[in-house]
Amino acid sequence: MAEGGLKIDPWSSNQSTDYSRIIEQFGLSSMDMVKMSNPSKLHRRGIVFAHRDLDVVLDAKNSGEKFGVLTGLMPSGKMHLGHSMVIEQVKWFQSQGGDVTIAVADLESQATRGVSLQKGREIALNEYISNYAALGLDPEKTNVYFQSTRPIVQRLGFQLGKRTNLNEFESIYGFSGDTNLAHLQAPMVQVGDILHPQTEEYGGLRPIVVPVGVDQDPHLRLTRGLAAKTNWFNINDGRKSGVVIGLSIQEDNAEILGQQPNGRMDKQRLNSIFDGIVSCLNDIGYSDIISNPKNGTVNIPGATSGDKIRIRMKLLEYERQLGGMGLLAPSSTYHHFAVGLTGDKMSSSKPKTTIFLGDGVDSVTKKIKRAYSGGQSTVEEHRRLGGNPDVDVAYQYMMYFFEDDDDFLQSVNADYRSGKILAGEMKQLCIDRAVEWFEEMNEKRSSSEHLVKEFLSQDSI
Ligand code: TRP
């Protein structure tokens, strides 16, 4: 957390919205340069604003290879509009062919919110999964599980714990001596959540994208770092050009990679490992491969930086054949937080700031009527100076949730700024759409109620 001062605490409702600083400080990539076909409205409108390695997933999709999507929900409190953004993104990835896994973070909720496993289960099913069904996730292609009943998740978390320490947790999360140990374990369980879909049992090696709010980025930084630390092969840009592969000899692979207990290398073993590397690269089709076991490197002069991911996938497969975990660092995307009804942050612990997905249309209408407005205090002033859609909750909610038509939204935006549309009229536009949206949600929730159990994986029944 320390560098540059900005801190992201995944368990606080008080998040920074200084997105450009977040991008810079934590090394996220901006979405500006990303090319997507059929982007969703959250992508088109810049609401999904940053990512890590999204290109890896989009490349897989574009070349018809498998990819997965994983996200998680913390079962505490009610599901509100803000939570639906992740599901919008999951749906989008699902429509692009991704398989979907959803973690119910019941262990985390117990550790950090004091919600019992039983209660967590009820909340997950009645509040979240039923809304996911209504929002249109496909139960056939979605797998929901509970942290508490999927041993591999906890095992992976435990095993990878070997590669981190309290100092790292202090710097990422700000944990200190009085941090409860269950809370300390929660991030490791989340590491297990994020990485386990890559295991053979859960779909095998493939890129996995994790769409989340930016508050969850600390977990992704941790997970990506841990995955990279387990890799047996390093892949780097060559000094001048090309790509260079080296070995990462560690306690649990030394023998397999040919290092003897006395530290000397077993030549035969080493040569066979290097032959294996070369044959991976031959599969990709490089003509010029310079293998130098003595030096511990393989050079591919003709490869570019952009080839590294293909090389990595091949070498991760090879690592798995040799007995390693072969873990690929997860990709991620981040969305802006929707503003709360009061103009401040949206938070389920402050009901006045948000609309819950279970709210009735009367209550939704009332809430929008009372919402913070970007209009001027009198009609005369508004006509003269215009309103500000950037802080107007009604406009923002149309943009984030209720209005699909970009052109319409743009004209409303312009007409608000020019003073042509009044604040009350803006609210009415929002209410009309919100009412329709919620009526549809309510209908779908009842008609898809029977689907809730179809979302559940075998180990969560
Ligand atoms: N920590 C997340 C939250 O507070 C829930 C979660 C658990 C999660 N495991 C995950 C999110 C894996 C993304 C990926 O909401």
Ligand 1 atom with minimal separation from the 103 CA? 9
Euclidean distance between CA atoms 126 and 421, whole angstroms: 40
pLDDT at 351: 87
CB 393, CB 343: distance < 8 Å: yes
Q: For a pocket test of ligand 1, which of 71, 78, 109 has the largest count of ligand atoms closer than 8 A to its C-beta?
A: 71
403 lines ligand 1 (CB under 6 A): no
CB 148, CB 461: distance < 8 Å: no
Secondary structure (DSSP) of 35-92: --SS--HHHHTTSEEEEESHHHHHHHHHTT---EEEEEE--SS--BGGGHHHHHHHHH
191 lines ligand 1 (CB under 6 A): no
Cβ contacts of 421 within 8 Å, gap of 6 or more:
387, 412, 415, 429
The pLDDT tens digits of the residues spanning 172-221 come to 999 999 999 999 999 999 999 999 999 999 999 999 999 999 999 999 99
124 lines ligand 1 (CB under 6 A): no
**Nearest protein Cα to ligand 1, atom 10:** 72
pLDDT at 163: 97
Domains in the chain, start-ordered, CATH in brackets?
2-230+329-337 (3.40.50.620), 233-322 (no CATH), 351-449 (1.10.240.10)
pLDDT at 92: 97
Pairing relation of β-strands 68-73 and 208-213? parallel
**Nearest protein Cα to ligand 1, atom 4:** 74
Ligand 1 atom with minimal separation from the 190 CA? 9
**Nearest protein Cα to ligand 1, atom 12:** 72
Determine the distance separating the centroid of ligand 1 and the alpha carbon of 193, expressed in angstroms.
8
Euclidean distance between CA atoms 146 and 457, whole angstroms: 9
Q: For a pocket test of ligand 1, which of 193, 215, 334 has the largest count of ligand atoms closer than 8 A to its C-beta?
A: 193
HEC profile of 148-190: HHCHHHHHHHHHHHHHCCHHHHHHHHCCCCCCCHHHHHHHHHH
pLDDT at 4: 59
Euclidean distance between CA atoms 202 and 193, whole angstroms: 11
190 lines ligand 1 (CB under 6 A): yes
106 lines ligand 1 (CB under 6 A): no
Residues of the chain with pLDDT under 50: 1-2
Euclidean distance between CA atoms 318 and 277, whole angstroms: 8
53 lines ligand 1 (CB under 6 A): no
Q: For a pocket test of ligand 1, which of 190, 191, 210, 224 has the largest count of ligand atoms closer than 8 A to its C-beta?
A: 190
3-state helix, strand, coil in the chain (%, to 5): 55, 15, 35
Determine the distance separating the centroid of ligand 1 and the alpha carbon of 119, expressed in angstroms.
17
Euclidean distance between CA atoms 13 and 349, whole angstroms: 8
The pLDDT tens digits of the residues spanning 96-129 come to 999 999 999 999 999 999 999 999 999 999 999 9
CB 187, CB 193: distance < 8 Å: no
Q: State the Rg of the chain over Cα.
A: 25
Determine the distance separating the centroid of ligand 1 and the alpha carbon of 8, expressed in angstroms.
14
The arrangement of strands across the sheet holding 290-292 comes to 233-237, 243-247, 297-300, 290-292
Taking residue 4's Cβ as centre, other Cβ atoms within 10 Å add up to 10
Q: What is the chain's length?
A: 461
pLDDT at 2: 45
